[in-house]
Amino acid sequence: MRVSQLLNPTLREVPAEAEVISHQLMLKAGLIRKAAAGVYTYLPLGWRILRKIEQIVREEMDAQGGQELMMPIMQPAELWQETGRWEVYGPEMFRLRDRHEREFCLGPTHEELITDLVRGDVRSYKQLPLLLYQIQNKYRDERRPRFGLMRGREFIMKDLYSFDRDPESLRVSYQKMYAAYERIFTRCGLTFRAVEADAGAIGGSGGTHEFMVLAESGEAEVVYCPACHYAANVEQAECQPQGALRVPVQEAPELIETPGLRTIEDITQTLGTPKSAQIKSLVYQGDAHLYLVLVRGDREVNALKVNHLLGGLNNLQLAAPEMVEQVMGGSVGSLGPVGAPPEIQIVADQEITLMPRLTCGANRTDYHYKNVVPGRDFRIDILGDIRMITPGETCLKCGMPLENARGIEVGQVFNLGTKYSQALHAVYVDEHGKEQLIYMGCYGIGVSRTMAAAIEQHHDPDGIIWPAAIAPYHCIIVPVNLKDGQVAAAAEELYRALWAAGVETVLDDRDERPGVKFKDADLIGYPLRITVGAKSLAQGGAELRVRASGEVELTPLPELPSRVQTMLQAMIEGELHA
């Protein structure tokens, strides 16, 4: 490809709309252009990168026996109504009606459609296991699209679905995909961790893992153990209870006036009570019920854990302050479990029971209780791990301190069990002639998000540094002066020789200053750059520069194709074993 013929409109200024580095650099490097909020056009270089990522994904899916198909983007509401997700999926689903008033959605995911396909065409145990996948656009009406391709309303995703006879066979399929994902992200040159996570709207009774590319701009926080490789999303990570040994407390609860004190910090500063000796009380509402949720004052409530402990409610959320005051008798800053109404269930973190005496709100505005003892002074209806973990806590697997990092979710694997096969009656006939429910898994990769995540990890002040395996082109040739016939001829000959050697090469044949060409080459992030000038030709060669390291070597012209091949192979192997 010649740059003069390439649609690659680079920018010098950072667009005001771009908040994270990947969004900034994709716009500056001419990889994407915005069509609407959260919707982008992929320009030729950006599309080449996406196709390379897709090819890696295809190769690894096919290697595990995956079969590629293509399902419709527009899905009928009836299938979603069969599983009950039409009502509960939420406002992120794009919904529409045709001229006959039939309801459809633009697919945010395809569990219903693929299960319907299989229930119609799979009859016997002899047809299982089955791995079916597609690479396709998905649509989610994000409340606030942002960060470019990281949180868009239209995005490219690979979704594979496994169909098995039983839990044991499903575990085999799950491990196949887990291992394949490790290879995919390694081949893409990414540093990542697989972390335990929550299944969210996809659901399922089995485990799930998110594959997180580690980057400062990541929306998710993960904790991990450097000793045993345990890792989890902070919302999913199990917590080890910490607290003092219980000792008998003789003092009765003491009611004290606390005018104007509304927060844990206020109580600490005014009364000198440590945060760890206070109860943080929050009222949640879900499925027409109220729950008083208790954690230590220095902890944060993990709403996902609360919801799991309660059996999975559809709409768990903090109750409105007006409702809280009406039911509890005091304002939000004065809540506590002592004397809580019997119709409200009290859900407590397991650490609450380890504290010998506590301070909490009295359910009376501007009053608190001191010397409160769990069990003696208030009841606990449901006890469990409902708090957020913090870095430095003990790893439950090996006892070492946990560390934290930020991550970008690029893939997730789900053990669905029989959630969808039961709802849609997807069954097979076993060797004994009996109908059995099919066990399912689903496995997604954000292809467009993977491109953005690669930039978040691989860039410097000059621009993108593409891993060789997914770079739009491997090498760019920059002739210093095209008016010099010898320079122009050498660049052209080298361009043809590199393509003949299988090296994807760009020739910058624009009538521009060398500095402009160098800046664009660094901005776009080609792994290798060859500079052809009169000075280097006088020495019998051209300058070969590595984008990642900045190393430059003068290489004889006849040796350049084989030298470039060797360097690219070393780069790809280095990415595989990094």
Do residues 19 and 76 share a domain?
yes
**Cβ-count burial 364-399 (b if 16+ within 10 Å, e if not):** bbbbbbbebbbeebbebeebebbbbbeeeeebbeee
Report yes or no on 103 lying in a domain.
yes
In a shared domain, residues 445 and 559 = no
Does 555 lie in the same domain as 497?
yes
CATH (domain of 17): 3.30.930.10
- Specify whether the CB–CB gap between 180 and 131 falls below 8 A: no
Average pLDDT of 378-403?
91
In a domain? residue 434:
yes
Report the domain count for the chain. Answer: 3
User: What is the pLDDT at residue 69?
Assistant: 98
Q: Which residues touch 47 (CB under 8 Å, ≥6 apart)?
A: none
- End-of-domain residue from the set 384, 407, 439: 384
Shared-domain flag, residues 85 and 164 = yes
Q: Cα separation of 420 and 571, whole Å?
A: 43
The pTM score is 0.85
Q: What is the mean pLDDT of residues 538-560?
A: 94
For residues 151 and 76, which has the higher predicted lDDT (pLDDT)? 76
Is residue 283 within 8 A of residue 319, CB to CB? The reply is yes
What is the rounded average pLDDT of the residues 371-375?
92
Decide if 351 is inside a domain.
yes
For every residue of 147-182, DSSP letters joined together read: TGGGB-SEEEEEEEEEEESSHHHHHHHHHHHHHHHH
Per-residue pLDDT, averaged over 13-32, amounts to 92
Q: How confident is the model at residue 308 (pLDDT cuts 50, 70, 90)?
A: confident
pLDDT of residue 206: 56
What is the spatial distance between Cα 197 and Cα 231, in angstroms, rounded to a whole number? 9
Same structural domain, 270 and 345: yes
pLDDT at residue number 575:
74
Q: What is the pLDDT of residue 455?
A: 97
> E strand or H helix at 467, and its extent?
none
Same domain, 40 and 172: yes
Which range marks the domain in which residue 347 is found?
Answer: 254-384
Q: What is the pLDDT of residues 454-496, one digit of tens each?
A: 999 999 999 999 999 999 999 999 999 999 999 999 999 999 9
CA distance 417 to 426: 12
Residue 479, SS3 per DSSP: strand
My answer on whether 27 and 61 are in the same domain is yes
User: Taking the chain, what is the end-to-end CA distance rounded to the nearest angstrom?
Assistant: 31
Q: What percentage of the chain exceeds 70 in pLDDT?
A: 97
Please check the confidence at residue 545 and state whether its pLDDT lies above 80.
yes
Say if residue 521 is in the same domain as residue 433: no
Contact yes or no for 232/195 (Cβ under 8 A): yes
The beta-strand segments (E) located in 2-48 are 32-36, 39-42
User: What was the pLDDT predicted at 205?
Assistant: 54
What is the domain-level CATH number for residue 302?
3.90.960.10
> Rounded distance, CA 233 to CA 481, Å?
53
pLDDT at 248: 61
pLDDT at 294 over 80: yes
Q: In what order do the strands lie in the sheet with 94-97?
A: 74-76, 103-106, 94-97
Tell me: do 98 and 177 sit in the same domain.
yes
3 state DSSP class of 209? strand
Question: For 273-291, what is the mean pLDDT?
Answer: 94
Q: pLDDT-derived band of residue 339, with 50, 70 and 90 as boundaries? A: very high
Residue where a domain stops, chosen among 456, 481, 509? 456
pLDDT tier for residue 361 given thresholds of 50, 70 and 90: very high
199: pLDDT strictly greater than 70: no
Mean residue pLDDT across the chain: 92
Please report which confidence band the pLDDT of residue 202 belongs to, taking 50, 70 and 90 as the band edges.
Answer: low
pLDDT at 439: 97
Angstrom distance (rounded) from CA 41 to CA 81: 33
User: Do residues 363 and 425 share a domain?
Assistant: no
Q: What is the pLDDT of residue 350?
A: 94
Domain match, 423 and 519 both: no
The answer to whether residues 249 and 373 touch, using CB atoms and an 8 Å cutoff, is yes
